[in-house]
């Protein structure tokens, strides 16, 4: 059962292809994948923990070593997992690139460990809304963690969520943006590794609810593999959507960013 599920997760074959290879019926394959996915989902609180099983100081130091960006406790991004929608009113799952998907929020640390995943939102929902309505957003905003996340321009600049300057001035703002980009690239790399390791995430041909469970299962397996030191697979270039919708920054978020810029990026 486990081997059948892992085969599906890793190569994303049609269920009948796996059934033919394993000499099993499609219904048996479906049940095996379902049971294993739910079992792995039950391990979510053990293997996907924010800010991970490390002291915050260690996490910040590991991020700081990338490009000198201070006080980072995680990098955040959204990624679209294509799905097959077979129900009426599936329009809410159509994303900006006009295909059906689930928009998945990923937060990771500098070692490619995923510390938070939200895998339940239709592809039409913007990254900023997913974060705003997440439990983690409230925990961070309420000061439960001392530090900030790094996000791209799909997120509003907030005191606990630093984004790049839209039109940086020469000097500190440009240096800030460079350090921000290099550090935040860690989440893009992590998403690339996740999709390369589990080819089923290239397109899930199952019911939407089951697709969400499979995504979570793959995230749990990714962290187990990372903890065990498994070799990363070759990552294909898979650029994510740009963000035509630019959420409004929060005034005190811009103030925190300006202070951070002046204090830490007065020289390259």
Q: Rounded to the nearest 10 degrees, what angle do helices 15-22 and 2-11 cross at?
A: 140
> Which residues, 6+ apart, have CB-to-CB distance to 142 below 8 Å?
none
State whether 76 and 37 are in the same domain. Answer: no
Residue 164 lies in domain: 45-264
Q: Which residue has the tokens 């499609």?
A: 26
Banded pLDDT at 249 (limits 50, 70, 90): confident
pLDDT at 30: 86
Which one-letter DSSP state was computed for residue 12? Answer: -
State whether 151 and 215 are in the same domain. Answer: yes
State whether 63 and 9 are in the same domain. Answer: no
Higher local confidence (pLDDT), 24 or 78: 78
State whether 22 and 58 are in the same domain. Answer: no
State whether 92 and 219 are in the same domain. Answer: yes
Phi, psi of 108 (to 5 degrees): -135, 170
pTM of the model: 0.91
Domain count, the chain: 2
pLDDT at 12: 74
State whether 84 and 115 are in the same domain. Answer: yes
For residue 136 the two structure tokens come to 């983690």
In this structure, of 14-28, 33-47, 61-75, 172-186, the range with the lowest mean pLDDT score is: 14-28
State whether 91 and 5 are in the same domain. Answer: no
State whether 35 and 78 are in the same domain. Answer: no
Q: How far is CA 82 from CA 7, 45, 95, 116, 238, in A?
A: 19, 25, 10, 20, 13
């Amino acid at each position: 059962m486990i081997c059948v599920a892992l085969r599906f997760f890793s190569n994303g074959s049609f269920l009948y292809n796996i059934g033919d290879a394993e000499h099993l019926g499609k219904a048996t394959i479906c049940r095996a994948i379902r049971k294993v996915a739910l079992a792995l989902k039950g391990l979510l609180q053990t293997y996907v923990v924010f800010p991970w099983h490390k002291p915050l100081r260690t996490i910040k130091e590991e991020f700081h070593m990338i490009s000198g960006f201070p006080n980072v406790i995680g990098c955040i991004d959204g990624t679209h997992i294509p799905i097959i929608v077979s129900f009426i009113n599936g329009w809410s799952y159509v994303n900006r690139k006009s295909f059906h998907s689930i928009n998945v929020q990923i937060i990771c640390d500098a070692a490619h460990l995923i510390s938070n995943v939200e895998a339940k939102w239709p592809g039409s929902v913007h990254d900023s809304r997913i974060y705003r309505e997440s439990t983690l957003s409230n925990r961070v905003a309420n000061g439960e963690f001392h530090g900030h996340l790094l996000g791209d321009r799909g997120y509003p600049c907030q005191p606990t969520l630093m984004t790049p300057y839209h039109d940086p001035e020469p000097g500190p703002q440009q240096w800030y943006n460079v350090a921000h980009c290099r550090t935040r690239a860690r989440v893009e790399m992590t998403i690339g590794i996740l999709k390369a390791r589990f080819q089923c995430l290239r397109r899930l041909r199952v019911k939407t609810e089951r697709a969400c469970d499979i995504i979570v299962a793959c995230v749990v397996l990714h962290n187990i593999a990372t903890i065990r030191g498994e070799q990363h697979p070759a990552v294909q270039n898979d650029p994510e959507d740009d963000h035509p919708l630019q959420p409004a920054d929060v005034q005190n978020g811009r103030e925190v960013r300006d202070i951070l810029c002046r204090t830490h990026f007065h020289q390259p």
